[in-house]
Amino acid sequence: MVINDSTPSWEYVINDMKLRNIEGMYKYNRFLRADCPDDMLQHLYEELLDAAVYIKTLINQRELGNTKDVCYNIMINGGDK
């Protein structure tokens, strides 16, 4: 999805959710449903811990003055590279 100034942010979020749903199917061979046996609270906790690390990294990068590459990497690659 091409990013532009006139597209509402929620459209990007919905697009990302659709993509993650497909990725989840390929990775886990199932869609996430209410009858999933996994501990969703534990998953959420772990995701939030990851998010806290990403945020702290961005704060540190901002203080060091080199936020462009890090922000771009997280936005484009989800922080994987």
Q: How far apart are CA 59 and CA 35, in angstroms?
A: 38
Q: How far apart are CA 68 and CA 38, in angstroms?
A: 37
Q: Answer for the pair 3, 12: CB distance below 8 angstroms, yes or no.
A: yes
Mean per-residue pLDDT, 28-32: 88
Mean of the per-residue pLDDT values of the chain: 85
Mean per-residue pLDDT, 31-50: 93
Mean per-residue pLDDT, 40-66: 93
Q: What is the DSSP letter of 66?
A: -
**Whether residue 7 has pLDDT greater than 80:** yes
The residue ranking higher by pLDDT, 73 or 51, is: 51
Where do the H-state alpha helices sit in the chain? Answer: 9-28, 40-64, 68-77
- pLDDT for the residue 80: 56
- pLDDT for the residue 68: 64
